[in-house]
Amino acid sequence: MRIRTSEGRHIFLRIAYLQCTTEACGWSVRAEFEMTHELSPSGMPNPEVYLPSANGDLRKAALPGAGQGSPSE
């Protein structure tokens, strides 16, 4: 997939239009990318921007390798 185009709708929402990179396929989709939680605080906070802090489960899910399971599973 590749992003053909995208547009900002809100500071926390972006709409993207994606296409399959296999020319014969022709599949294309519309996707919405929404920021919902802050995983770590900014070093340069903007008082006009606020997202709720992520809980421990969300923070763990964002770690590299999260949800992949161990090789013995």
**In a 10 Å sphere around its CB, with 0-12 CB exposed, 13-18 middle and 19+ buried, how is residue 16 labelled?**
middle
Cβ-contact 51, 12 below 8 angstroms: yes
Please choose, from the candidates 15, 13, 18, the residue with its C-alpha nearest in 3D space to the C-alpha of residue 3. Answer: 18
Give the pLDDT confidence of 2-60 residue by residue, as tens digits. Answer: 999 999 999 999 999 999 999 899 999 999 999 999 999 999 999 999 999 999 999 99
| Domain regions of the chain by residue span | 1-35
Residue 68 pLDDT more than 70? Answer: no
